[in-house]
Amino acid sequence: MNKRIEKFFILFTDFLTVNLAWLIFFYLRVQTGWFDLITQPDFLLPMIAIYFYWLIIFTFVGMYRTWFALSRLDELSTLFKATFVGIFILFFLILWDDYSRGVSTSIQFYIFLYWGIFLLFVGSGRLVIRSIQRNLLIKGIGRRNALIVGFNPKSHQLHDTIINHRALGFDVVGYIAVLDENLDKEYKGIKSLGTVKNIEKIIDDLNVRNVIISLERHHEDTMLEVISKCEGKNVEMKIVPDLYDIISGQARIAQIYGMPLIDVMPELMPEWEKKLKRLMDIVLSFILLLITLPATLLTAIAIKIDSKGPVFYKQKRMGMNGKIFKILKFRTMVTDAEKHTGPVWSSKNDPRVTIVGGFIRKARLDEIPQAINVLKGDMSFVGPRPERPFFVEKLSQELPLYKRRLKVRPGITGWAQVKHKYDENIEDVKVKLRYDLFYIENMSLRMDFKIIFRTIFVVLFGKGHYN
C-alpha cells in the first residue's frame, strides 16, 4: 500500500471511529435518560474539539507513521497507552472546569465510559485497516525487496522464516557474499549477487528497501563497511545477533516470528518529540526573524554599500536523506569567491571576506536568513551543519559513517558548532563528526535547549565558530 494511501485510510478511519465513539457516548449519556443531567450539553462543538484533540495526541505518539511488518497487538498496545494519557488529561481538564463553575458531576464514571467506547471503536477500526493491509501484503501488493548480507546457515534460516510468513511483506531478492567462494551460489533459487563492495549498486538496481545483516562471528569490519555503504540509501538495516548480543541486553531487539533482530542505528527521538521539535523550529524561526528585522535591514544596506553583488548568498547544501537545497545567508565574501579555486574550505582570516562581511561573521548576523530555510523544512534550529555535496562525497570516502549526519535535518547551530571551530582541514572535520554523531545518538529536546543556550553564550561572548 502506498504511504499516502495508507495514511489517508488511517486518518479517514480514525475520523469516523473517533466521532462515532463520541456519538454513542453522547446518546448513552443524554438521550437514554439513564443519567441525571444538570444542563443539556452541546453536541457538535465538543465533538469537533475532541476529534482534533485525539488527532494531535495520535500524531505526537507516532500513530500515523508508516506501518510495515509490525504486530497489530503492538499497535493496540500503543493505542491503549496513548488513550490512557489522553483520558487522564481530559479527566483533570473537565474536573478543573466543573470545580471553577461550582458544578458537581460524576466525572469519573462518565470519563471511563467514554474511554471504553473510544477504545472499542478506534481499536476495531485500526484492526480492520491493518488486516486489510496484511492481506494485501500476502497477495503481493506493497511488498519490499530485501537483501541478506551473508551466505551461511543462519542467513538461510532467516530466509526460510521470511518465505514461510508472507505477511512480513519481504521478498528476498539476493544475497551479498562475504567470502569469494560463496559468489554465484544460491539458496532456494535466490543467488549471491555480489560482494559488499558493490552493495550500493545492487540496492539501486533492485530497488531494495531492507538490508538484513546475517554474519558469523569475527566479521565486525565487514559489518561496519556494510553500514557505512548503506548510510546514504533509503533502506532499513537490521542485524541477526548472536547469542551473546541477546543475553547481554546491549542492543534493541525486535523479532520476526521468533527470529531476533537488532535495529541498526534506529531513530532514538520518539515521534511526539520530533513533532514538538519541528513546532519549536517554526516558533523560534518566526521570533528570530521578527526581533532581528532592524538588524537585517541595516545589514542588507551595509552589504550593498560595501561591495558589488547580491545581498543574499545561496549555496547548494545536502540535507536530510541526501536532499539538495539552497542555504540562504548574508553575503560576506566577494562575488564569485570560488570562481578560480573551486569548492574550498573557508579559513579564519580568509582574504575573500569583505570588510562588512568580517563584521557580519563576527556578530553571527550572516546566519539569520537561514531561519527561512528552517521555516521551509530544509533545516532545523539545532542539528549538524549542512555541508556541500562536493565535500559530502569526498569526506564520506575518507570518514566511515560520515553520511550518518544525513539521517537528521541539518541545523543553524549544533553541538559541534558550540564545541569546535571552523572546518579548515580534515582533522577539524573528524573532530566535528564525533560531536555530530554524539548529538544524533542522543537527540532530545533537552539536548536542543542546551545547545541553544550555549549558542547564545557563544554569540554574546564571541567564542566558537560557524561555517
> What is the structure's pLDDT at 411?
93
More confident residue, 439 or 253: 439
Rounded average pLDDT over 275-284: 90
Confidence class of residue 293 from pLDDT cuts 50, 70 and 90? very high
136-170 pLDDT, tens per residue? 888 888 888 999 998 888 899 889 988 888 888 88
- pLDDT reading at 265 higher than 90: no
Rounded average pLDDT over 335-359: 69
Q: Which residue has the cell 573551486?
A: 342
Domains and CATH numbers, the chain: 3-138 (no CATH), 144-263 (3.40.50.720), 271-461 (no CATH)
> What is the structure's pLDDT at 106?
55
Percentages helix, strand, coil for the chain, rounded to the nearest 5? Answer: 55, 15, 30
Rounded average pLDDT over 180-209: 88
Do 316 and 338 contact (CB within 8 A), yes or no? Answer: no
More confident residue, 253 or 395: 395
Rounded average pLDDT over 35-57: 76
CA atoms of 270 and 249, how far apart (whole Å):
21
Whose CA is closest to 8, among 133, 167, 136?
A: 133
pTM exceeds cut of 0.75: no
- pLDDT reading at 43 higher than 60: yes
Do 147 and 208 contact (CB within 8 A), yes or no? Answer: yes
> What is the structure's pLDDT at 250?
44
Taking residue 217's Cβ as centre, other Cβ atoms within 10 Å add up to 7
Whose CA is closest to 14, among 44, 56, 66, 77?
A: 56
The amino acid sitting at 444 is S
**Which run of H or of E encompasses 191?**
strand 190-195
Extended beta strands in 44-189, E state? 144-149, 170-177, 186-187
Whose CA is closest to 143, among 151, 135, 152?
A: 135
CA atoms of 223 and 176, how far apart (whole Å):
12
